């Protein structure tokens, strides 16, 4: 890899970011490790990936490099976007999406699986059902581990793409009112995103049923970061002042008790009627999959940003991979 400059005929490099990055060789486990400088860097590289991908489709920053996509939990967007991102960077991917067909089903430990895969590849993307699994993997790994979701813990690359979506769509993040709606207890995307947004002086509106409120461990981090938030059960209290409405799915797979899930499933449904009370310039986001929280009839509203958010995810994951694999 020769840093971020593209060998193009024109004298103007398509990527003009510095070839060095503190991300080189680094694990991406939690947003808690990231400061404002790191975030500006990710946003800047991701924006350039967006421009370059639009112009030439793919580049060869990761030529000859291999990524392992190791998923112990279902995924469509995260695994496919890391796969596409690595290939658009000229690299290739080894995918283990069905761990039940791997030696995991024979009882192999996560540590042994990681040490095996890292023998073949340059970077490992890991999704696991246990909180802290990515950190456990990183403790034995010699190659960078990227946390693609650890149970109800964190989902740092989703938070980065969510941040990128907000900045690309609304031009800034500082001072916005961001409403997080739904399952704030088990939803790892909001655990990561709220911590990131706390660095930007965002006003957070946390809307959920009482049983699905943001965990105290996340609130403690928000407090330490000087964040400003309010807690609600009724979306109507905050919809008019919202700049970003971040809707989440109730995380059925995290409930021990099916009746408790049934009691809160379908608690919120965003419809075109809901948005009649929202600002004209605001966006609706969702990490997806949606299972009824946003009606398909909302999709035609220009404020529905969730499909664009999916596309931004490609550029952010290209940026993260290029930075982690980058040469100083």
Shortest gap between Cβ of 78 and ligand NCD (angstroms)?
4
Residue 77 as a binder of ligand NCD (CB under 6 A): the answer is yes
Among 48, 113, 158, 192, binds ligand NCD (CB under 6 A): 158
Residue 249 as a binder of ligand NCD (CB under 6 A): the answer is yes
SS3 241: helix
Instruction: Give the span between the Cα atoms of 83 and 224, in whole angstroms.
Output: 36
**Sequence-ordered strand ranges (E) for the chain:** 66-71, 92-96, 123-128, 145-150, 177-181, 203-207, 228-232, 244-247, 283-285
Among 50, 128, 143, 155, binds ligand NCD (CB under 6 A): 155
Shortest gap between Cβ of 115 and ligand NCD (angstroms)?
25
Residue 188 as a binder of ligand NCD (CB under 6 A): the answer is yes
SS3 299: coil
Q: Are strands 177-181 and 203-207 parallel, antiparallel or unpaired?
A: parallel
Look at the block and give the residue holding tokens 């291999």: 66
Residue 165 as a binder of ligand NCD (CB under 6 A): the answer is no
Query: What tokens were used for 210?
Result: 């009482």
Per CB under 6 A, contacts with ligand NCD among 272-291 are: 287-288
Query: What tokens were used for 236?
Result: 């109507």
Per CB under 6 A, contacts with ligand NCD among 15-74 are: none
What spatial distance separates the first Cα and last Cα of the chain, rounded to whole Å?
10
Look at the block and give the residue holding tokens 């919809």: 239
Query: What tokens were used for 135?
Result: 């950190």
Among 91, 149, 151, 326, binds ligand NCD (CB under 6 A): 149
Among 179, 189, 208, 242, binds ligand NCD (CB under 6 A): 189
Shortest gap between Cβ of 251 and ligand NCD (angstroms)?
6
- Residues that bind ligand NCD in the complex, under the rule CB under 6 A: 77-78, 149, 155, 158, 188-189, 249, 287-288
């Amino acid at each position: 890899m020769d840093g971020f400059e593209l060998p193009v005929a024109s004298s103007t490099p398509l990527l003009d970011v510095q070839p060095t990055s503190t991300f080189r060789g680094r694990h991406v486990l939690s947003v808690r490790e990231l400061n404002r400088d790191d975030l500006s860097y990710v946003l800047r590289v991701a924006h350039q990936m967006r421009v370059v991908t639009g112009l030439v489709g793919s580049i060869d920053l990761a030529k000859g490099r291999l990524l392992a996509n190791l998923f112990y939990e279902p995924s469509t967007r995260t695994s496919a976007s890391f796969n596409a991102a690595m290939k658009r960077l000229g690299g290739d991917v080894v995918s283990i999406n069905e761990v039940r067909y791997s030696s995991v089903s024979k009882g192999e430990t996560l540590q042994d699986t990681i040490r095996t895969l890292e023998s073949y590849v340059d970077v490992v993307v890991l999704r696991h059902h246990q909180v802290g699994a990515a950190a456990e993997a990183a403790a034995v790994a010699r190659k960078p581990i990227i946390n693609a979701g650890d149970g109800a813990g964190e989902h740092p690359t989703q938070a980065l793409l969510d941040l990128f979506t907000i900045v690309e769509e609304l031009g800034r993040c500082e001072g916005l009112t961001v409403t997080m709606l739904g399952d704030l207890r088990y939803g790892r995307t909001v655990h990561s995103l709220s911590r990131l947004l706390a660095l930007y002086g965002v006003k957070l509106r946390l809307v959920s049923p009482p049983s699905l409120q943001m965990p105290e461990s996340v609130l403690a981090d928000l407090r330490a970061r000087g964040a400003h938030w309010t807690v609600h059960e009724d979306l109507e209290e905050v919809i008019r002042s919202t700049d970003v409405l971040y809707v989440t799915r109730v995380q059925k797979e995290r409930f021990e008790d099916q009746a408790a899930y049934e009691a809160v499933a379908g608690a919120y449904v965003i419809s075109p009627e809901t948005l009649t009370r929202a600002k004209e310039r605001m966006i609706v986001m969702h990490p997806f999959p949606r299972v009824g929280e946003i009606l398909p009839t909302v999709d035609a509203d220009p404020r529905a940003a969730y499909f664009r958010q999916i596309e931004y995810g490609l550029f952010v994951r290209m940026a993260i991979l290029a930075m982690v694999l980058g040469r100083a």
